[in-house]
Amino acid sequence: MSGIRYSFGGDEHIFVEIDEEMSLEAFFKGMAICSDLEKRRIAGVSEICPSNASYLVRFDPDVIHPDKMLRTLQDIDAQIGDADLELPTRIVEIPVLYNDPWTRETLMRFRERHQDPNSTDIEYAARINGYGSIDEFIAAHSGAPWFVSMVGFVAGLPFLFQMVERSKQIEAPKYLRPRTDTPKLTVGHGGCFGCIYSVRGAGGYQMFGITPAPIYDPAQKLIYLRNFMAFFRPGDIVKWKPISREEYDRDVKAVEAGTFDLTIRPVNFSLKAFHSDPGGYSRSLVEVLHGH
Amino acid sequence: MDIEVIKPGLATSVQDAGRPGYYNIGIPLSGALDQYALCAANLLVGNEARAAVLEATLLGPELAFRAPAIIAVTGAEAAPKVNGEARPLNESFAVRADDRLTFDFMKVGARIYIAVAGGIDVPPVLGSRSTYALGALGGFAGRKLAAGDVLPVGKATAGGRAGRALAGDLVPTYPKSLELRVLTGLYFHRLTDEAARTFFEDTWTVAPEADRIGYRYRKGHALAFRERKQPFGAGSDPSNIVDAGYPYGSIQVPGGLEPIILHRDAVSGGGYAMIGTVISADMDRIAQMQPNNLARFVQVDMDAALKARAEYKGRIARMSAALR
């Protein structure tokens, strides 16, 4: 990593870039500093936002002077150092109907804004990532788990980082010009990041499928949204589960009936253990989901 | 005691002092874009300074009162009228049951704040009554107002009376051409030397795309970013970074074309390099800029930003004392 860079964002924010490029190490470092800062409950700190390879803190400079705020963050970094980073978190299985009719209808409407107007988003992504078929691409996309490395842009939207060696990570450019519409709960991809659109709206990520599972609902109707209206937290681990149209329709009915639930299990993630055997460690995480 | 919305105006919503604490999951601060005007409107009618009011943009609403009330209008210059008769800005006045409140066009400034003694009493969500429309959260049904909406009003305290007015330098002015003070940083170093210069030399015009999420500015020189091999995870355009958190007031320049300043309904993060941040004391001034108003950006340091903040807070303290 190139070294941490601190910068004031006006008189109320400090922006901290752990690294210019995305990596699990940079994300973990930011998460570790943010959790430590959270625990200190420092008067005047109103927002602590970990995001991919950086984090953002908002504070009231009338309560804590900007220089003191900066020193506090530098102290936390020095204390954490290069310790082996472990993260107590949870793994959740998210059902996905890949290549669904709704994102397909939407992507056809915005074809002239795409790099390759003659194929669909998933065909294009499969081809540029070297997969022979859409099925092979879906197997790769849904095979290894993904880290929620940031939540935001809009309420409850998770950015996801695939937990495989860099050479195997799926990469795809954003649309040439953003769409003005994206179906709610679209599973998207831009750069090296996946996402789930929590609300309908504009977007520039490639669209691969759709999940029946609501992830943001101010009315908090489903069991897993009772604690809070937005489901995802930075640090969550996601495993995609490809489903059929029949399963999708069944899930949507269950959502409407208020009986739909997700499989969620607690896990302890070790960065060191992951690096020593990414494939094996990912499989062991997924086994936690299924009760092993 | 209710208020019926006869015509909603262009974009009218319930707002208070905001909803801090949830930016890490993408729920922004929200709240009145012009916090000074919010505070003034509330104090004039005897509310606590942070109570919920109506914020209307460019075109005011038409409202019908179902019971007598004390109200006040602050912010942009848009003369209020009760049943067609002029009423003063920045001064509390009484309305009777069945009175109609309307507004002239906003001549100067872009947002008015309508406070009612007792406050707009929609249910608080996550500690605030502010509307966050993108997330369908808070306010009245999570959206801007529509014709036929009926707004509940809280119980007024004994302090509300007609004829209380802002005076002297406590009355805000909204110039059509102004300076916005900026603390550079974040990804400012990614701009070329020339772009770093013209950004501050040029006069910028507010674009029609100016709302609660952000204000877009145009008619300055395009801003070039230094060429580089893009870091892993950042997009391919030189104005891209690995997606990161956006400070309120931060300035991004997608594709190097038009600077956007994020305001209180900000998207919480994204992949465009931020080149600096407008200081907290100047955020209210952005809220009152109409499309085609002019701005120049002025570079300041942290000491100047904190001094401006102290002056801003001092003015609110003087207003609170004067209206007590």
Residues A256-286: tens digit of each pLDDT: 999 999 999 999 999 999 989 999 999 999 9
User: CATH no. for residue A103?
Assistant: 2.40.100.10
In a domain, B213, yes or no: yes
From the list B27, B136, B186, which residue is nearest A7 (CB)?
Answer: B186
ipTM above 0.90, yes or no: yes
A107 with A147, same domain?
yes
- Token pair for B76: 């942009």
Instruction: Tell me whether A55 touches chain B (CB under 8 Å).
Output: yes
Report how far residue B15's alpha carbon sits from residue B55's, in angstroms, rounded to the nearest whole number: 6
HSE-CB of B194 using CA atoms within 13 angstroms: 8
Is residue A113 a contact partner of residue A177, using CB atoms and an 8 Å limit? yes
Nearest CA in chain A to B267: A153
Report how far residue A262's alpha carbon sits from residue A255's, in angstroms, rounded to the nearest whole number: 11
Domain boundary among A62, A83, A104: A83
According to DSSP, the residues that pair with B68 across neighbouring strands are none
A97 with A59, same domain?
no
Report how far residue B270's alpha carbon sits from residue B268's, in angstroms, rounded to the nearest whole number: 7
User: Which residues form the domain of A78?
Assistant: 5-83
A158 with A281, same domain?
yes
Q: For chain B, give percent helix, strand, coil, nearest 5.
A: 20, 35, 45
% of chain A surpassing 90 pLDDT: 88
CA angle in degrees (0–180, nearest 5) for A28-A166-A193: 65
B104 with B216, same domain?
no
A239 with A175, same domain?
yes
| CA nearest to B102, candidates B63, B69, B136 | B63
B263 with B305, same domain?
yes
Q: What is the pLDDT of residues B180-206, one digit of tens each?
A: 999 999 999 999 999 999 999 999 999
Report how far residue A128's alpha carbon sits from residue B45's, in angstroms, rounded to the nearest whole number: 63
DSSP string over B77-117: E--EEETTEE--SSB-EEE-TT-EEEE---SEEEEEEEEET
B185 with B161, same domain?
no
Contacts of A191 in chain B (CB under 8 A): 233-235, 242-243, 271
Low-confidence ranges of chain B (pLDDT < 70): none
Contacts of A158 in chain B (CB under 8 A): none
A178 with A97, same domain?
yes
Instruction: Tell me whether A230 touches chain B (CB under 8 Å).
Output: yes
Specify the amino acid at residue B171. V
Buried-state track B142-174, b at ≥16 Cβ within 10 A, e below 16: bbbbeeebebebbebeeebeeebbbeeebebeb
Q: Domain count of chain B? A: 2
pLDDT at B188: 98
Q: In what order do the strands lie in the sheet with B2-7?
A: B85-86, B80-82, B100-103, B62-65, B2-7, B150-152
Contacts of B249 in chain A (CB under 8 A): 9-10, 12
B125 with B184, same domain?
no
B163 with B181, same domain?
no
Is residue B19 a contact partner of residue B30, using CB atoms and an 8 Å limit? yes
pLDDT at A292: 59
Q: Domain count of chain A? A: 2
Q: What is the mean pLDDT of residues A93-100?
A: 98
Instruction: Tell me whether A15 touches chain B (CB under 8 Å).
Output: yes
Specify the amino acid at residue B108. V
Q: Residue A84 pLDDT more than 70?
A: no
| CA nearest to B195, candidates B242, B250, B251 | B251
A46 with A187, same domain?
no
Domain boundary among B170, B196, B216: B170
Q: Residue A53 pLDDT more than 80?
A: yes
Q: What is the mean pLDDT of residues A215-219?
A: 96
User: Which residues form the domain of B9?
Assistant: 2-170
Instruction: Tell me whether B244 touches chain A (CB under 8 Å).
Output: yes
Write the CA distances from A111 to A100, A106, A124, A127, integer angstroms.
16, 9, 12, 17
pLDDT at A150: 96
Report how far residue B92's alpha carbon sits from residue B96's, in angstroms, rounded to the nearest whole number: 14
User: CATH no. for residue A35?
Assistant: 3.30.1360.40
B82 with B111, same domain?
yes
A168 with A279, same domain?
yes
A140 with A188, same domain?
yes
From the list A47, A66, A153, which residue is nearest B24 (CB)?
Answer: A47
Q: Residue A1 pLDDT more than 70?
A: no
A74 with A95, same domain?
no
pLDDT at A177: 82
Domain boundary among B145, B170, B195: B170
pLDDT at A83: 67
Domain boundary among A83, A106, A132: A83
Contacts of A20 in chain B (CB under 8 A): 231, 234, 241-242
User: CATH no. for residue B188?
Assistant: 2.40.100.10
Q: 3-class DSSP state for residue B281?
A: helix
